[in-house]
Amino acid sequence: MNQFYLGLLFCMPFLAKSQDTEIGKAFPAWKPGEIEIHHIYTGRGESSFLILPDGTSMLIDAGDFDPDPEEYALMTPLLPDSSKRAGTLVANYIKKVNPKRENVDYLLISHFHNDHIGGAKKGQGMSSHRKPNYQLSGVAQVAETIQFNRVVDRAYPNYNFPIDLTQNEDIQNYMNFIQWQLSQKSFQVEAFQLGSTTQFNLNKSHKKYPNFSIRNLFSNGMVWNPRNQEVDTLYYQANQTNQSSWNENTMSCGIRLDYGPFSYYSGGDLSGAFLDEDKKTVDIEAYSAKMCGPVEVSKANHHAYLDAMSAGFVQAIQSKFFIIPVWDQEHIQPEVMNRMIANSPSNKDTKLLFTHFPESKKQMPAVKPFLKDVLADGHIIVKVADQGKSYTIYVLDATKPDHRIKAVYGPFQPDASSRQETR
């Protein structure tokens, strides 16, 4: 038995849930009152799908970055079917788990990189007889079979902050998609509203679940400050004097989900730092995490790449589980794994879930010390029950289209005393 599986065995008293009765079976369908947070693996981008307590649904991103092997050789496998593009795989996954099948209430675009929205160069092909036409890639390809009711992004309707975004061909392709769909009255589009707890409402039974909310934390480098109920315009101020520090990742939209004592964070590719008005470095990750407050489960920023998951962020977010969406072998970095483990206040219990973990990476000497904290890879689902008082983490086999259960961890009880949103 190799070190990876020995590590898992060591963790079983903390993590196991009678796995022998569930492994290999179908994932249990959503039931009213539950939340499911699906981190979907395709190997070509990031995508998360949420089913909320009353059945309201929400897709966050659907990327399709697909370079030729000679252009970039470290992409992870396209799964479960390499003959289909990522947008089709995401759409098929949604139809399998969504109680409303092809209808999804919200599409949130965290930011405008092609591994989150799709690209203009490669996709299923250009649309035809549409004005304007656009490449069917990423979210545009998902929308060919999934009906969204509302789309939210960081820059609608002008797409000009902090620079003219229309000069980027991937963003222009996305804008063409939005323009055509609006002309057909397919869905509504609106800008991400900082500080709001009503933009992503429960659409069917809001009063039945008063302990549920999604708080809009940050966008465009601006952060909601719950202490004074105002927006801290850090990046906006800095941009006036130092546009060279602009980076699309720092423009990401971030949310905090609360359901009773359970809490979850998702912040797109928020990463790195920028220079303020005095050209001093500002760790936007750490600042955003302080404004968010501690959570139980966190999606890692920027795929846990080298410029993300700062020590300040990890210390402030205090997550027990970090979920890392992977499409690039370089997303697995020992230095960052160490930061996530060493800086977590509960580092003895902190676990890392990668949607893909290549065998070659497990053999790296620098990675091996952290394998005891790495759980099985695949589609990662957080299933929250009992009004947020309990949650279980499922890992589904991403190599097969029926998505059978590969591993189960929990159930766990949230630490409500230390994980309430800062207000």
Where in the sequence is the domain holding 65, given as residue range(s)?
A: 3-414
In-domain check, residue 421: no
Determine the Cα–Cα distance for residues 159 and 173; give it in Å rounded to an integer.
Answer: 12
Q: φ, ψ for residue 293 (rounded to 5)?
A: 90, 165
- pLDDT per residue over 248-301, tens digit each? 998 999 999 999 999 999 999 999 777 666 777 778 899 999 999 999 999 999
In-domain check, residue 407: yes
Determine the Cα–Cα distance for residues 120 and 183; give it in Å rounded to an integer.
Answer: 20
Structure tokens belonging to residue 241: 């004097």
- The residues, any chain, with a CB within 8 Å of residue 312's CB and separated by 6 or more, are 283, 285, 286, 287, 289
In-domain check, residue 396: yes
In-domain check, residue 99: yes
> What is the Cβ-side half-sphere exposure of residue 46, based on CA atoms within 13 angstroms?
28
C-beta separation of 91 from 124 below 8 A = no
**Residue labelled with tokens 């909320």:** 52
Structural domain count, the chain: 1
Of 219, 202, 218, give the one whose Cα is nearest residue 210. Answer: 202
Structure letter (DSSP) for residue 16: B
pLDDT of residue 85: 97
C-beta separation of 91 from 145 below 8 A = yes
pLDDT of residue 94: 98
Specify the DSSP element, H or E, that contains 338. helix 334-342
Looking only at the bridges linking them, the beta strands covering 262-266 and 374-375 are unpaired
Structure letter (DSSP) for residue 122: S
Of 136, 130, 140, give the one whose Cα is nearest residue 61. Answer: 140
In-domain check, residue 360: yes
In-domain check, residue 25: yes
pTM: 0.93
pLDDT of residue 419: 56
CATH number, domain with residue 99: 3.60.15.10
In-domain check, residue 219: yes
pLDDT of residue 313: 96
- The Cβ of residue 32 has, within 10 Å, a number of other Cβ atoms equal to 12
Give the residues of the chain that fall short of pLDDT 50.
1-14, 16, 18, 240, 422-423
Of 146, 125, 192, 149, give the one whose Cα is nearest residue 40. Answer: 146
pLDDT of residue 21: 78
In-domain check, residue 422: no
C-beta separation of 376 from 254 below 8 A = no
